[in-house]
Chain A
């Protein structure tokens, strides 16, 4: 064939002509946490739509706060489950560790404490936690019984010890006053400090936020092009000036932007045209142009999904217009008229989006021209939806935020349509391009995250003056602990030999042992990691609550397991990721907070959780089947 493919073959020892090239989409689809990600997006959108504070800085702070302690445990328990074991004592252990640390620092004498400094108590309690974890692992290995039963025993022992122990020592079923220990102040900063948004004023916030998000977004987009399109044999420098002009134009448009409510028509037009120019320029510089685009054709395979999509869209719009947007009365139990309006509108639009995606997917087989046309059409319809939402919605949140998101989505679709009409999609592996694209995408993603972080952490005077209470947000340091713990665990699992062994002992313990993996040691270390996580959560609880109830943490072990399973971890071991457990924890935190924001009885949370678990398990199994066939 061409020189490029020959080169790619030479530099890429891993590629093989018998392997069909898998596109970016299908590679993402086979990831274990894909169901969790989709569920998280849907749940976020649902509660964002039905409740006012959800999605505001305050709401995000609360959701992250809830997910932190849950997530630290979910990650540890998820990794243990990948290693093929359960730890039912993990929930009770969190409370036990909180009690232990408080007892270690309390004054001696009738207060019942050991009177140690936090400097001694913290490492000492960690040692106790690791000891409990080691004991769990040792018992599982020695008895050869299922860890489900062994740790169930540990759970009851811990539960009893917490109750009986606190009754004997402090004559109460709670152990209190973590703040009486010496050196409390220093450690409080590490485990209990908070960031109060309303006291951090930064007038340049919105400018920095917009710049970071747009620059990051553009970089991610360029990385996606690199992933998807085939490189030309020679670079064509003629594209560079156009790319440059496009980027400058995006910058100018960004500066022109003053609000996201759709009144900046000039700025929007400048950004849209510049984005198109940048795409064309970038593609001309690097990628192979299509020689034959094929004919535009509306085949029967496309008519059906397009038709259903259009019908759902129209039905959604009719539902939005048909119900009164301000009617607060119940139409059926628990659902107000305006609530039903939002639910109908959003679910019908989601259905429409699903069917249009199917049509776009199928149009790839018809012709390039048809595919571009389908994507472009989707973009135009998305923009019309944005305009509709903007003119029709009574909710300020919808008029600005949803309008903004839909407009950006529309722009991406239109630009994508143009790009896929002009340039050839890669059909073979290109390891160099993939590596480059991954790095660039990481940079772009980091910039977008930084932008969102700036927006979440800082406040501008105008917001304070407006006095909107939902803008009050307190971020606690436990979120940092959560992110750090998940990052470290993910690194260990993916990069180190120990991580490989975890998957091996979970996937086929006997094989792993025969081949020289220290299976017993690996499993024991996993139990110790879970206990260590329980220790961390126990300390975070002690510094937050100051007083720990004897029952704290009991029963939460199943929530950790649910979070891991929703995130794609196998109940039988050998499969799963840290990111999945993180997403599972976020889903659970979002549903808890969303239900309370919506003003429903919080007991509904459990019904919701059970349903999510069931749906996620079924969907995960299904996706895994497809994924295995796709490999």
Chain B
């Protein structure tokens, strides 16, 4: 059986700088693959390769068994890889439904009377959000009036609706409070249950562990390993993320200083 997406020994060099090397993991449909790493670990480079912003210099990316290489974000999107960036790509002054459909508005009529089918657009937006368990009060309200978690959820629902097979979430919980983070984790599970392969990028093992099926830990551009949930107790994940030996060293320095 071939994986939905598999990465084998991916590497990316910027001149003589090794940004990423020897990264291997898989993403299955209906599973969540968590990519964990501290600042500078290579998470952004990892996302950009999958989203088509950069191209990998070594290794192999294969989508449903076929080796692929994305030349642009549009390529990745049409291959079914949707990325929800940290800044969410939303227009705050525009309504929820207009944001939901932005760039792909459903139309009716012929040119020059080709207009947005507002009734359809609003009801689909409302339904899609509801399917993700997101209950927006009014699809006419501007996105700027939503809370951070709600905005995140609209972005996720949008990616899911527009035919994504793989959803990449870049630090969706980092700017959120405890409760809001919980809400976003629920949407991640909802997307997974709808059969998407989810790549959840975070530096918080406590957010990753409850939803993840597979964990890949990045440190200084290298993969520290690729684990299934069964092989990795929570404490060990936390320990690895915190940098284990490094943390001991740090506490020694701070106390000793």
Contacts and interface: CB of A to CB of B under 8 A. Distances in A.
B253 interface: no
Interface stretch (B137-145, B213-221, B241-249): B137-145
A511 B90 contact: yes
A429 to B, nearest CB: 9
Interface residues of A, number: 25
Contacts of B138: 14, 16, 19
Residue from the set A16, A511, A512 with the largest chain B CB neighbour count within 10 Å: A511
B103 interface: yes
Contact of B89 (A16, A500, A514): A514
A496 B91 contact: no
A515 B140 contact: no
B142 A508 contact: no
A514 B93 contact: no
Interface in B62-110: 73-74, 77, 85, 87-94, 98, 101-105, 107
A504 interface: yes
Contact of B103 (A16, A512, A628): A512
B126 interface: yes
Interface in B214-254: none
A14 B140 contact: yes
B93 A500 contact: no
A575 B137 CA distance: 22
Given A497-B107, A631-B141, A507 B93 contact: yes
A515 B91 CA distance: 11
A508 B92 contact: yes
A13 interface: yes
B91 A503 contact: yes
Given A511-B89, A515-B102, A504 B94 contact: yes
A512 B142 CA distance: 15
Contact of A497 (B87, B92, B105, B140): B105
Interface in B191-232: none
B256 to A, nearest CB: 46
Contacts of A515: 89, 102-103
A512 B77 CA distance: 15
A538 interface: no
B104 A503 contact: no
B91 A511 contact: yes
A13 B130 CA distance: 12
A512 B92 contact: no
A81 to B, nearest CB: 13
B87 A511 contact: yes
Interface string A489-500: 000000111001
B87 to A, nearest CB: 7
Interface string A227-270: 00000000000000000000000000000000000000000000
A91 interface: no
A517 B77 CA distance: 13
Contacts of A14: 122, 126, 138-140
A16 B105 CA distance: 24
Contacts of B115: 495-496
B123 interface: yes
Contacts of B103: 501, 504, 512, 515-517
A16 B137 contact: yes
A497 B93 contact: no
Contacts of A516: 74, 77, 102-104
Nearest to A18: B137
B189 interface: no
A577 to B, nearest CB: 13
B114 interface: yes
Interface in A502-553: 503-504, 507-508, 510-512, 514-517
A624 to B, nearest CB: 10
A450 to B, nearest CB: 24
A445 interface: no
A574 interface: yes
Contact of A517 (B74, B102, B137, B142): B102
Greatest chain B CB density within 10 A among A501, A503, A575 is at A503
A436 to B, nearest CB: 16
Contact of A507 (B88, B92, B137): B92
B7 interface: no
Contacts of A508: 89-92
A562 B77 CA distance: 42
Contacts of B29: none
Question: Of residues A501, A504, A515, A516, which shows the largest number of chain B Cβ atoms within 10 Å of its Cβ?
Answer: A515
A19 B91 contact: no
Contacts of B91: 503-504, 507-508, 511-512, 574
A516 B88 CA distance: 13
Contacts of B93: 503, 507, 574-575
B152 to A, nearest CB: 14
Contact of A500 (B74, B87, B88, B116): B116
Contacts of B85: 514
A511 B137 CA distance: 23
Contacts of A497: 105, 107, 116
A500 B92 contact: no
Contacts of A500: 94, 98, 101-102, 105, 116
A191 B15 CA distance: 63
B145 A631 contact: yes
Contacts of A19: 137-138
Contacts of A628: 142, 144-145
Contacts of B102: 500-501, 504, 512, 515-517
Contacts of A517: 102-103
Nearest to A517: B103
Contacts of A503: 91, 93-94, 98
Interface string A167-202: 000000000000000000000000000000000000
Contacts of A504: 91, 94, 98, 102-103
Given A14-B139, A508-B92, A511-B91, A495 B145 contact: no
A465 to B, nearest CB: 49
Given A497-B107, A574-B93, A511 B88 contact: yes
Interface in B131-165: 137-142, 144-145
B28 to A, nearest CB: 27
Contacts of A13: 122-123, 126
Contacts of A496: 107, 114-116
Contacts of B142: 628, 631
Contacts of B114: 496
A490 to B, nearest CB: 12
The residue in A507, A508, A575 that gathers the most chain B C-beta atoms within 10 A of its C-beta is A508
B126 A495 contact: no
B73 A514 contact: yes
Contacts of B89: 508, 510-512, 514-515
B80 to A, nearest CB: 14
16 contacts: A14-B122, A14-B140, A16-B137, A495-B115, A497-B107, A497-B116, A500-B98, A504-B91, A507-B92, A510-B87, A511-B90, A515-B89, A516-B104, A575-B93, A628-B142, A631-B142
Interface of B: 73-74, 77, 85, 87-94, 98, 101-105, 107, 114-116, 122-123, 126, 137-142, 144-145
Given A497-B116, A503-B94, 7 more contacts: A14-B126, A496-B107, A507-B94, A508-B91, A512-B102, A516-B104, A574-B94
Interface of A: 13-14, 16, 18-19, 495-497, 500-501, 503-504, 507-508, 510-512, 514-517, 574-575, 628, 631
A-B CB proximity, top 6 nearest = A516-B103, A507-B91, A497-B105, A495-B115, A511-B89, A514-B89
